[in-house]
Chain A
Amino acid sequence: MTATSAPASSTAPPAVRFEDVSVTFPRSNRAVLAGASFTIAAGERVVVLGPSGAGKSTLLAMVTGVVPHSVIADVTGTVTVGGRDTRDTEVVDLASLLGVLPQDPDSAVCLPGVEQELAFVLENRAVPPTEISARIDGALATVGAAALRGRATGTLSGGESQRVALAAALIGRPEILVLDEPTSMLDADGMRQVRDAVDAAARPGTVAVLLVEHRLDEYAGNRGIAGLPERCIVLGADGGIRHDGPTASVLPRAAGELHRAGCWLPCETELQAALGIPGGIAEPAVRRALLGLAGDPTGADAPPATVAGAVVLAGRALGVSRDPVPRRTGRFHRRRPGADRRALLSAVDVELRAGEIVAVLGRNGAGKSSLLLTLAGLLTPTGGTVAGERPGLVFQNPEHQFLGNTVREEVLVGLPADAGPRVERLLEEHGLGRLADRNPYRLSGGQKRRLSLAAMLAHKRASLLADEPTLGLDRRSTIATIAAFRRAAAAGTGILFSSHDVRTVATVADRVLLVADGRIVADGPAIEVLRGGEQLRRAGVTVPPLVAWLVATLDSGARVRRVLDALDASVDAGDRGAPAPDPGTAGPAAAPAVTR
């Protein structure tokens, strides 16, 4: 790829060039980007990595011109895109060089129809109307979405929206494609579709790609490091560039550092950081080390399987739709004709016992969230009954749940007046003590999630339901959520959560429910359900290679959990055997910009 684009890059200006760029936002004493310098040649593909808050999004915003044109910040240094200084070029003028794919599928597509969305880009570039139709077909074909041409954007799934948005980013023939965590809100199928579409778009080498992706383990998929862009830039927590070079050599070198910073890494890189052995899951030495972590195969030292307590929540022969609970139950209540009475799930039998952690896996839109809402009494079942005490429910978007003006008030909502000391304890336990007087809306994404979970747990309901509790979290926050779930379960709470994050499910869940084709197709111990190939495929669940190997090789769920826990623990323990940082490449002044 680099070879084909090399001749072009010697004449054309580089796609992107950062020269000693530092960015500081107002009311902050710390630079988000500090002295970043790098060049991306035409047609080159780059992935940017770094811990949360390291300036990855700021870097993208500098490229698109959003900083400093729309968001005010103190910027030094120069950024050029296609040879033009972003400071002197308006965002709309930069737009002609850029194709941008944002994170949230809902705001990635702006207009009511797919055709119109794509035509819009060309109209803005004053492309003659006669050429537009053919180019729409071309762009949709590139991203494998030709069939979506006649659709209304409101009816698209997340993966479809992102592919349409990608087509809209490509249709103007940009020089550089900017991808801001494009798959973080998607399920396994959607992610695969979008990743393949990005690959297909970049294959001809005519467009440079700048990708920020947070779940690198999932994005890389089965292809591992080979599934990532060829070049990798690693940002440090201080906003400086720590590494810059070919992904295949940077990742092993930066493995320990990224691992400890809480980044999600491709399996191979993570195992190297945690075990000190390169080669990935196929390597016998790695396998031996993992088996070593699993402990005794006889299971003699395994803790007794969770003693199942009393049933705290049960749904029997439940039918699930999106129909809200009626506000009034009087005689005159009439269902609105527009309400969605279509059953998403039918004949659902679920039981949740005290102290048990159960995960629900399935596609986006399969009815997982609606199932949780129905169990929580917020949606009316189309049939069957829900029995049990009123459960707690943590929503996917924590902001939807916020009621207090400060973090402390938020946790106090709905609690008796004497709950003060308990709330303080809870805040400390969830790492929110320092933030007690902050406004909930001003927290970071991970902190908001921790807060909404702590606020719900404060109610000590017999059961806790959670909708995608680890979505968008970095590794450390995910580990903290796992710990919080285990503490609550140990205290007797029954926990039922929906997720796309199979690894977290394998780490924390005792039991897994698999949702597909409008019903529950599997309900059993996590290790057994995650072994079942056909059912998993029907439910659109992709088991990552490490988890797949563990459940296939080990004989008990406890041992699988022990390995995953040990890997999680190594995030805090530091790297055991990664090569010592090379003084020539580690510092911020490193990475003598690859000569091009």
Chain B
Amino acid sequence: MSWVGAVAASPLSRRNPTVKLALLFLVSLLLLVVFDPVTPGVLYLLGLAAVLGFARIPARTLLLAHLPFVGFALGILVVNALSRPGEVLVDLPPIRVSVEGLVVGSALALRSMAIGILSIGFIATTDPVALMTSLHQHARLSARVTFAVLAGYRMLQQLPREWQVIRQAQSVRSPLRARGGTRFGVRAFGTAAFALLVVSLRRGERLSQSLESRGLGRGPRTVWRPVPLGPADGLLLVCALGAVLLVMFVVGALGLSLGPDTLF
């Protein structure tokens, strides 16, 4: 089913999408109660090792995919380090960095990195169609929802091209600037966005009529190519959760863990 996205065959790509999504969700949930930098740091490294070993993502893609998470993590780190009161580490007015701020900030930053690497592993190894089929099969998500998402996915693929055409069409009549280009200000952005909205709404309506005319939501349905759910998926879930709990336990045993009370 790899014709949709660029999902290369890898051990992780063969696992059930719903299981992978559930795993991502559970690990994120567990990380919510962790406020020390060590646990998420170790988990990030473990996650990175797993992704490198089992996801077969090209290094360049992996690096690029890190960018949004790194940006987000840095933001959290800086905000916490600068704004949190506590023992002053660096005092160069107006900059003042506190130890507590640095600890909490790095914990939260590493948490987003840990969740980030797992998300990258999930997205890069999961075919959207298989995900939707699997969510319908194994998570009892209604077919109306899963197929609407898939149709939306197809629409999404056409959006950049549509946007480009609208921009071109609207720039034809705008005055030229000295250097030859046309201005693209807030107003122009607004009208172009509106045109895109109108065109997309129409297409969305037609797509939904097409889906309905194909008999979506008529009652009991069959699944032609079910997404397999096997013992290996259970093993993945158990091993991964086990590893996370083990890390949390060891860090706790070493006396390095911090709870939510660190925040206050």
Report if A and B associate in a common complex.
yes
Residues of A within 8 A of B (CB): 64, 66, 70, 91-93, 95-96, 98, 100, 102, 104, 106-113, 116, 119-129, 132-133, 150-154, 165, 168-169, 172, 324-325, 327, 329, 373, 376, 378, 390, 392-393, 395, 397, 399-403, 413-414, 441, 455-456, 459
B residues 207-233 with Cβ under 8 Å of A? 207, 209-226
B residues 193-218 with Cβ under 8 Å of A? 195, 198-199, 203, 206-207, 209-218
B173 and A400: CB pair below 8 A?
no
Give the distance to chain A from B2, nearest Cβ to Cβ, in Å. Answer: 10
A112 and B150: CB pair below 8 A?
yes
B4 and A112: CB pair below 8 A?
yes
B209 and A102: CB pair below 8 A?
yes
- How many residues of chain B have a CB within 8 Å of chain A? 53
A324 to B160, CA, bound (A): 12
Give the distance to chain B from A380, nearest Cβ to Cβ, in Å. Answer: 12
B215 and A172: CB pair below 8 A?
yes
A400 and B224: CB pair below 8 A?
no
Which of these, B150, B153, B174, B195, contacts A402 with CB under 8 Å?
A: B195
**Complex contacts, B166 vs chain A, CB 8 Å:** 400
CB-nearest residue of chain B relative to A112? Answer: B4
A98 and B213: CB pair below 8 A?
yes
CB-nearest residue of chain A relative to B1? Answer: A113
Can you spell out 15 A-B residue pairs with CB atoms less than 8 angstroms apart? A64-B209, A91-B213, A95-B218, A104-B206, A106-B203, A123-B224, A126-B219, A168-B214, A172-B215, A324-B164, A327-B184, A329-B179, A390-B176, A401-B173, A414-B175
Which of these, A98, A102, A378, contacts B210 with CB under 8 Å?
A: A102
Give the distance to chain B from A241, nearest Cβ to Cβ, in Å. Answer: 25
Extra A-B contacts (20), CB below 8 Å, given A64-B213, A104-B203, A113-B3: A92-B212, A98-B213, A104-B206, A106-B203, A110-B210, A110-B211, A111-B147, A112-B4, A121-B214, A122-B222, A124-B214, A125-B218, A126-B222, A129-B224, A325-B181, A376-B172, A392-B172, A397-B169, A400-B170, A402-B195
A441 to B202, CA, bound (A): 12
Give the distance to chain A from B133, nearest Cβ to Cβ, in Å. Answer: 9
CB-nearest residue of chain A relative to B203? Answer: A107
**Complex contacts, B157 vs chain A, CB 8 Å:** 154
A455 to B158, CA, bound (A): 27
Which of these, A122, A378, A441, contacts B198 with CB under 8 Å?
A: A441
CB-nearest residue of chain B relative to A325? Answer: B181
Would A119 and B224 be within 8 Å (CB), given that A100-B213, A107-B206, A112-B128 are in contact?
yes
CB-nearest residue of chain A relative to B216? Answer: A124
Which of these, B3, B214, B218, B221, contacts A110 with CB under 8 Å?
A: B214
| B184, B210, B220 interface centre (most CB from chain A within 10 Å) | B210
Give the distance to chain B from A402, nearest Cβ to Cβ, in Å. Answer: 6
A123 to B218, CA, bound (A): 10
Interface string of B214-254 (1 = CB under 8 A from A): 11111111111110000000000000000000000000000
Would A102 and B150 be within 8 Å (CB), given that A129-B223, A456-B172, A459-B173 are in contact?
no
CB-nearest residue of chain A relative to B219? Answer: A126
CB-nearest residue of chain A relative to B150? Answer: A111
B24 within 8 A of A: no
A452 to B227, CA, bound (A): 49
CB-nearest residue of chain A relative to B171? Answer: A378
A329 to B178, CA, bound (A): 13
**Complex contacts, B151 vs chain A, CB 8 Å:** 110-111
CB-nearest residue of chain B relative to A121? Answer: B214
**Complex contacts, A393 vs chain B, CB 8 Å:** 169, 172
A96 to B223, CA, bound (A): 18
A98 to B167, CA, bound (A): 39
**Complex contacts, A127 vs chain B, CB 8 Å:** 222
**Complex contacts, B213 vs chain A, CB 8 Å:** 64, 91, 95, 98, 100, 169
| A92, A100, A324 interface centre (most CB from chain B within 10 Å) | A92
B168 within 8 A of A: yes
| B4, B179, B199, B226 interface centre (most CB from chain A within 10 Å) | B4
**Complex contacts, A165 vs chain B, CB 8 Å:** 210
Give the distance to chain A from B29, nearest Cβ to Cβ, in Å. Answer: 31
B142 within 8 A of A: no
Would A400 and B222 be within 8 Å (CB), given that A110-B210, A124-B214, A329-B179 are in contact?
no
| A93, A121, A125, A169 interface centre (most CB from chain B within 10 Å) | A125
B10 within 8 A of A: no
A427 to B215, CA, bound (A): 46
Give the distance to chain B from A371, nearest Cβ to Cβ, in Å. Answer: 14
**Complex contacts, A133 vs chain B, CB 8 Å:** 224
A153 and B219: CB pair below 8 A?
no
A91 to B216, CA, bound (A): 10
B66 within 8 A of A: no
Give the distance to chain B from A325, nearest Cβ to Cβ, in Å. Answer: 8
B129 within 8 A of A: yes
**Complex contacts, B4 vs chain A, CB 8 Å:** 112-113, 152
B165 within 8 A of A: yes
B96 within 8 A of A: no
B129 and A116: CB pair below 8 A?
yes
**Complex contacts, A112 vs chain B, CB 8 Å:** 3-4, 128-129, 150, 153-154
CB-nearest residue of chain A relative to B158? Answer: A106
**Complex contacts, B184 vs chain A, CB 8 Å:** 327
Give the distance to chain B from A387, nearest Cβ to Cβ, in Å. Answer: 14
Give the distance to chain B from A6, nearest Cβ to Cβ, in Å. Answer: 29
B210 and A107: CB pair below 8 A?
yes
A120 to B147, CA, bound (A): 9
**Complex contacts, A392 vs chain B, CB 8 Å:** 172-173
**Complex contacts, A93 vs chain B, CB 8 Å:** 218
A127 to B215, CA, bound (A): 12
| A64, A110, A133, A154 interface centre (most CB from chain B within 10 Å) | A110
| B211, B215, B217 interface centre (most CB from chain A within 10 Å) | B215
Would A91 and B212 be within 8 Å (CB), given that A102-B206, A104-B206, A113-B4 are in contact?
yes
CB-nearest residue of chain A relative to B184? Answer: A327
Which of these, B150, B154, B172, B219, contacts A154 with CB under 8 Å?
A: B154
B191 within 8 A of A: yes
A153 to B129, CA, bound (A): 13
Would A122 and B224 be within 8 Å (CB), given that A66-B209, A102-B206 are in contact?
yes
